Structure 1
């Protein structure tokens, strides 16, 4: 199996905050004309960690972007915690901690790039935390978007206090090779059931309310799309926060980060980032 996390360029790491959140730091190869750019903060989704960004990071480093990857409490290389006590709000505190640490170090607020659960967390933070920009990659949807384009025929499961890691026993997907899936299978871990119970409609949640009018920074929404309804949800998310939209048809949720077409999302983000030069 190819382990993309072990192929990352040279980087640093440190623990921040009282929960020992492990922050991976990837300095960009910037030219003098690229100085003054805001840093990037990557926020992973449920069950994962900074390793999920392994295919993305080299591209942003090469383009001169200083990149930071948070590991939320209890995830990957952050200190272990009792997941039965972890709430959605605790993860919000973790991201605030990372944003504060980055802003102190760089004298600039970061652009936040959130995937899946990290996307709904990042939207909620953007209501009242000053950030330079917001990118959502197949984000979990808000209560308002679900009201507009609801999931149909759900049979919601009530999560336990801890949700086990996804099995991923399939060998491939529409845009992932067996190697891509094996990479994820190596690192996927358990998740907080309380957090899931707050945002996931598949787990019976009422959803997280997002006040799109409070999100003043520029934003971009990228969605994995397999049908018209999924495309409508992505467009509704972008409209709700006043952002640009890209729907990538024929891609999958995790494939957008580690699949064979991940570079299409990276390319669109790079174009969107030129506004900060």
Structure 2
């Protein structure tokens, strides 16, 4: 198995806050006009950590973007916590703390890139925390989008005290090789049931309400599209926050980050990021 996390560019890491959140820092390769760029903050999804961005990071570093990868409390190399007690709001507080750390270090708020659970967390933060931009990659949807384009025929899974890591028993997916899946299987871990119960409609949640009009920064929504409803939900999310939209047919949820076509999402983000040059 190829461990993509061990092939990432040289970087530093530090623990911050009372929960010892492990923050990884990748310094962009310098070039003309790049010193004034906003930093990027990557926010992972459920069950994962900064390792999930292993294929993405080299592209942004090579293009000169300094990048910070958070590990929410209890995830990857952050200190272990009691997941039976962790709330959605606790993860929000983790991201607020890291944004404050970045602003203090860089003198400017970051562009936040959130995946899945990290996407709904990032939307909620963007209502009242200053950020330079927002990118959502197959984000968990908000209450308002679900009301417009609801999931149909949900087979509700009521969580126990914690949600176990996905088994990923399959050998391949539509856009992931055996190696891609084995990489994830190595690192996937349990997740907070209370956090899931706040935002996941598959776990019976009422959903997280997002006041889209409060999100005033430039935004981009990227979605894996496998049917018409995926497309509608993605476009509805983009409309709700006033953002641009890209749907990628045939992509899978995790494949957008670690699959064989992940570069399609990276390329679109790079084009979108060009607006921040020269600011």
Q: Structure 1: how far apart are the matches of 2:161 and 2:45?
A: 18
Could you tell me which residue of structure 2 aligns to residue 259 of structure 1?
Answer: 259
The aligned counterpart of 1:271 is 271
C-alpha distance in structure 2 between counterparts of 1:62 and 1:104, whole Å = 24
Superposed CA RMSD in Å reads 0.4
Give the equivalent residue in structure 1 for 2:101.
101
In structure 2, how many angstroms separate the alpha carbons of the residues matched to 1:101 and 1:212? 26
Q: CA deviation at 1:251?
A: 0.3
1:201-223 Cα deviation digits (max 9, x unpaired): 00000000000000000000000
- 2:163 alignment partner in structure 1: 163
- Give the equivalent residue in structure 2 for 1:132: 132
Provide, for residues 141-173 of structure 1, a one-character-per-residue CA deviation record: whole Å limited to 9, x for no partner.
000000000000012121112000000000000
**2:70 aligned residue:** 70
Equivalent residue, structure 1, for 2:153: 153
**What residue number does 1:214 align with?**
214
TM-score, normalization by structure 1: 1.00
CA distance in 2, matches of 1:124, 1:30: 32
Please name the residue that 2:122 is paired with.
Answer: 122
State the match for 1:200 in structure 2: 200
Within 2, Cα distance between the matches of 1:51 and 1:110?
Answer: 20
Q: Give 3-state SS (helix, strand or coil) of 2:84's partner.
A: helix
**2: CA distance, partners of 1:89 / 1:180:** 31
Query: What is the aligned residue count?
Result: 277
Aligned to 1:87: 87
- The corresponding residue for 1:142 is 142
Deviations 1:219-271 (CA, angstroms, capped at 9, x unpaired): 00000000011000000000000000000000000000000000000000000
Structure 2: tracts of 5 or more residues without a match? none
* Counterpart-to-counterpart distance in 2, 1:156 and 1:30: 49
> Which residue does 2:13 correspond to in 1?
13
Gaps of 5+ in 1: none
SS of the residue 1:18 aligns to: coil
> What is the SS of the residue equivalent to 1:84?
coil
Structure-1 separation of matches of 2:33 and 2:218: 22
Q: Which runs of 4+ in 1 moved over 2 A?
A: none
Matched, 1:233 2:242: no
CA distance in 1, matches of 2:138, 2:30: 28
- The TM-score with structure 2 as length reference comes to 0.99
Shift of 1:35: 1.3
Structure 2 CA distance for aligned equivalents of residues 204 and 227 of structure 1: 22
The answer for the alignment partner of 1:22 in structure 2 is 22
SS at match of 1:220: strand
For residues 275 and 18 of structure 2, what CA distance do their matches in structure 1 show?
Answer: 35
Inter-partner Cα distance in structure 1 for 2:164 and 2:33: 47
